[in-house]
Structure 1
Amino acid sequence: MPLSPMTYPDGHVGWRAHDHATVRAVLADSRFSIRPDKMHNPFGPGSPGDAPPSPPGAFTDHDPPDHTRYRGKLTGQFTVRRMRVLAERLEVITAGHLDSLEAQGSPADLVEHFAVPVPGLMICELLGVPYDRRTEFQQDAMLLTGASGAEEDEGEAMYAAFGRLQQFMLEMVALKRTQPTDDVLSDLVGSAGDLTDDEMAAMGMALLGGGLDTTTNMLSLGTLELLRAQERVDAMLADPDAAVEELLRYISLTPATARTALEDVEIEGTLVRAGDTVFVELRSANHDPARYADPDLLDLVRGAPGHLAFGHGIHQCIGQHLARIELKIAFPGLFTRFPKLRLAVPEDDLRHRASLVIGGLDSMPVAWD
């Protein structure tokens, strides 16, 4: 059946959507809410009302009309011209960090020297973080994503980093008002209209959260998949567009999300009552045999049209085009520079991050000739 009953950690009997068509239907339906404070948490304890409402400006956790207002302010910032400029900068950033990786000498940690700093600097470019503050920004961003290897309590470190980054974003908003540059945050401040400083800072935080951890982990996990067979590397170098789309489908870095019905909704013959939460399995949808032949086979020439790695509907990732650019430049750049790249440790020794939401690697020692 398109929807299957599911018992949530708080005892709520809701639903799970797992095939491609049903997942698309739920994500495209405006009668479902993304708000955490309305949700039975599928990932752990939590009932509606337990989570506080998301702060104004954190558009990824808001429903219309607030979501429409916030996202509308950002949509026009991801222009073809800006993507072209960012692609040019990414070529330079990628080459520079490949130089740094090579300078470390074989073996070296791909996560530390490539997968983390490249997306971090791209977020700096997108938001217009001044060069003299990028080290500070990246250090807290790494703490926020759990990628810093900090020895202090991880939860406390992430909480403290979040607070510092919020303050940093407020300072950036104030800076862009008096010293605008060619970046998304400057344009947002310049056309803010009815937005407050707190809202614009939260929007910047949402862009940071959506664009840093995901791309970092796609670079490490994607490289791991490519290293499993030389023909995979050859396919990536021959057609990065098709290969990246298939990697996105196959890995499906964000495995699931959730939505709560705001009213009674019928999905393909199943009635979802108002207040019911639906666990939306993106990874399962991307491996639906009704949509993709041999879905558990990584076929880097198929192109994977219609995959849901970036979601679907009004909450589809606003930065997906930039993410694609990053991956289509970084993967070929890495394997062109290091054609004999290989793991420096047995694969079983790699430490995967303990996360129910976004997977990744803590480190990835690699070697080359």
Structure 2
Amino acid sequence: MTTTPDTSEVPHYPMARAQGCPFDPPPELRKLQEEGPLTRVRLWDGTTPWLVTRYADQRAVLGDKRVSADMTHPTYPRQAPGNASLSFIGMDDPEHSRLRRMVGSAFMVKRVEAMRPAVQKIVDDAVDALLAGPRPVDLVEAFALPVPSLVICDLLDVPYADHDFFQGNSKAMVNRDSTVEERTAASGALAEYLGRLVARKIENPGDDLLSRLGEKVKAGELTHRGATEMAVLLLIAGHETTANMIALSTLALLRDPDQLALLRDTDDPSVAVTATDELLRYLNITHGGRRRVALEDLEVAGQLVKAGEGLILPNDIANRDTEVFTDPDTIDVTREARHHLAFGFGVHQCLGQPLARLELQIVYRTLYRRIPELRLAADFEDIPFKHDGFVYGVYSLPVTW
């Protein structure tokens, strides 16, 4: 068993991407992966958790009951100061599973597949608006952000007319440079807003996810605060992640016209399925690494991790592991990559992944076919990437056709 490494010159995490390579993990992360499976890194608060860089080791840790996702644990490796609640994703079983089951049925594959016609209409309407509007246009504001926002608003029964409010506060919460006060204020504003909606649903329920949460409150299975925190999580995760993925993947495909043509010009719907998972593997919009803390001593890839020590598992580099993916630094929309770690692994694997996959598949089969001449309307070097975000993407994407 190896010994604990010297922490006198521990690299800072997260690391910077290479200039001109915004789709790739930081070079230092790749170097650490090649040098060994575990290394110490230094966080914003001076703590030095373990960084787990290889695919197989990340899966092993994520499936190990001896590690905790509890964000209230005193040595949990936080991404930033503050105590913003992320509902059940920051909890361990059995409470994690109990709360997750309350909304899990809404994201089952069969239930999500029944949403396909409604999601297709949302995407078609958004493309119609693009075609009828001015050029060039910012694809983020005109398409990538409205599509998943409309989908999650329909599912929750949140008024889309309030999108500027909840999108603005969501951006503050996922920006690494936001102060504790700014993040707390944004979280509080969303909680107050969604708390009012949940209260209305308790009195006047409908056929929507907020009403289901209201029923749990009324039955005494969930507190009003717990329902509100869950609603905040679902609203933010339901639009912020998918919106960034739509814009970032479109930019990556515009930079790789051969792969875009394979996706755009085929009548085979299975290509959109494989392309969705391949782009999720290649791009990885959550680049801060999944965070865990060891509840007891355990061994990871021959290294002793002691109880109370933090673990960071950056899925961006795991999904570029050459032991698992051939030529991982290139896009291959025909690759079978569903076993990627973009959605995590184990009991905390992303609840909303069936919905995210559905939205992305429909976007990929619709946008590029209906606007085959889609192209960038700005120099690639001028595209503003979200290097300051917990969720990676672009702030704007000027396009024309």
Task: State the TM-score, normalizing by the size of structure 1.
Answer: 0.89
Shift in CA distance, 160/96, structure 1 to aligned 2, threshold 3 Å: farther
Which one of the candidate residues 90, 103, 119 is aligned to 1:74?
103
How much does 1:330 deviate?
1.1
Letter in 2 for 1:235: L
**Do the aligned partners of 1:173 and 1:200 also contact (CA within 8 Å) in 2?**
yes
Which one of the candidate residues 122, 126, 149 is aligned to 1:120?
149
Map 1:27-38; keep pairs closer than 5 Å.
Answer: 27-38=62-73
How much does 1:160 deviate?
4.2
Shift in CA distance, 171/9, structure 1 to aligned 2, threshold 3 Å: closer
**Do the aligned partners of 1:43 and 1:356 also contact (CA within 8 Å) in 2?**
no
Letter in 1 for 2:226: E
Shift in CA distance, 158/107, structure 1 to aligned 2, threshold 3 Å: farther
Cα distance in 1 for partners of 2:48, 2:364 equals: 43
The aligned residue for residue 150 of structure 1 is none
Cα distance in 2 for partners of 1:350, 1:259 equals: 33
Stretch moving more, 231-240 or 115-124: 231-240
Cα distance in 2 for partners of 1:361, 1:270 equals: 37
How much does 1:175 deviate?
2.1
The aligned residue for residue 344 of structure 2 is 311
1:135 aligns with 2:164: no
**Do the aligned partners of 2:170 and 2:186 also contact (CA within 8 Å) in 1?**
no
Point out where structure 2 has 5 or more consecutive residues left out of the alignment. 1-35, 173-177
How much does 1:158 deviate?
5.8
1:181 aligns with 2:206: yes
**Do the aligned partners of 1:86 and 1:126 also contact (CA within 8 Å) in 2?**
no
**Do the aligned partners of 1:286 and 1:308 also contact (CA within 8 Å) in 2?**
yes
Which one of the candidate residues 255, 269, 273 is aligned to 1:241?
273
Cα distance in 2 for partners of 1:216, 1:297 equals: 22
1:96-147, CA deviations, whole angstroms, 9 ceiling, x for partnerless residues? 1112222222211100100111111111011122xxx3211x1122212339
Secondary structure of the 1:258 match is strand
How much does 1:298 deviate?
0.9
**Do the aligned partners of 1:353 and 1:359 also contact (CA within 8 Å) in 2?**
yes
Which one of the candidate residues 241, 244, 249 is aligned to 1:217?
244
Cα distance in 2 for partners of 1:180, 1:140 equals: 24
Secondary structure of the 2:326 match is coil
Map 1:1-369; keep pairs closer than 5 Å.
Answer: 1-38=36-73, 39=75, 41=77, 43=79, 51-52=82-83, 55=85, 58-129=87-158, 133-136=159-162, 138-146=163-171, 159-192=184-217, 193=219, 194-237=221-264, 238=266, 239-255=271-287, 256-368=289-401
What RMSD over aligned residues (CA atoms) do the two structures have, in Å? 2.3
Task: State the TM-score, normalizing by the size of structure 2.
Answer: 0.82
1:37-87, CA deviations, whole angstroms, 9 ceiling, x for partnerless residues? 32454645x6xxxx54x65x8111112222121112122232345313422
How much does 1:4 deviate?
2.1
Stretch moving more, 180-189 or 243-252: 180-189
Cα distance in 2 for partners of 1:117, 1:86 equals: 17
**Do the aligned partners of 2:109 and 2:354 also contact (CA within 8 Å) in 1?**
no
> In percent, how many aligned pairs have the same letter?
37
How much does 1:25 deviate?
0.9
**Do the aligned partners of 1:8 and 1:40 also contact (CA within 8 Å) in 2?**
no
Cα distance in 2 for partners of 1:71, 1:113 equals: 32
Point out where structure 1 has 5 or more consecutive residues left out of the alignment. 148-152
Cα distance in 1 for partners of 2:78, 2:228 equals: 28
**Do the aligned partners of 1:140 and 1:162 also contact (CA within 8 Å) in 2?**
no
Cα distance in 2 for partners of 1:107, 1:156 equals: 37
Cα distance in 2 for partners of 1:15, 1:101 equals: 46
Cα distance in 2 for partners of 1:356, 1:96 equals: 29
Cα distance in 2 for partners of 1:2, 1:303 equals: 25
Cα distance in 1 for partners of 2:66, 2:291 equals: 13
Shift in CA distance, 2/161, structure 1 to aligned 2, threshold 3 Å: closer
